[in-house]
Amino acid sequence: MNSSTPAIRQMMNVYEATAKQVVGVRTVEEQDVSKYGIIESSRQNGLIHEVGGLVEKPSPADAPSRQAVIGRYVLEPSIFSILGNMSTGAGGEYQLTDALHQVALQNQLLALELEGTRYNIDDKAGYLEAVLHMGMQHEDLRPMLDSMIREALAPR
């Protein structure tokens, strides 16, 4: 994430105001919902959703929304006891999404639509995009990156 207010600070502001655990979310394309944990939002207040449940990597037809958890969390230590008492979930793995679902059922989980630019470094193109965009923001790196890009694009 790249934003004027860091993503975790955005989420901490919500946690400090509500005393509820918070996950960061972004709207994803319908064909991408099967790549993420997806929230079921029972109510929304601006960018804040009250989470009624979560589903790990649902098919687009079974997804309760297109709001995807994007790997940003403000959680309390109690999440570890929930994880410690779980059995394996999707893919035969222990899923944080399943533990968060338990927190949501206790009405203790909010989702915040994070402000800023999200780079998906889960694939090579997203990683490269993040490196280039972040590098170009640094005055000392910009000339070197510019030169590297021009050289890479030059006919050979």
| Residue 131 token pair | 């490196």
Tell me the whole-structure pTM to 2 decimals: 0.83
3-state SS class at 25: strand
pLDDT digits over 108-144, tens only?
A: 999 999 999 888 888 899 899 998 988 888 999 999 9
Lowest mean pLDDT among 18-22, 28-32, 42-46, 53-57: 42-46
CA 80, CA 86: separation in Å to the nearest integer?
10
Range(s) of the chain covered by CATH 3.90.550.10: 7-118
User: What is the per-residue pLDDT for 66?
Assistant: 94
Q: How many CB atoms lie within 10 A of CB 27?
A: 11
**Are the C-beta atoms of residues 74 and 6 closer than 8 Å to each other?**
no
Q: What is the CATH number of domain 7-118?
A: 3.90.550.10
Note whether 92 and 62 are within 8 A (CB).
Answer: no
Q: What does the pLDDT look like over 41-83, one tens digit per residue?
A: 877 888 999 999 999 899 999 999 999 999 999 999 999 999 9
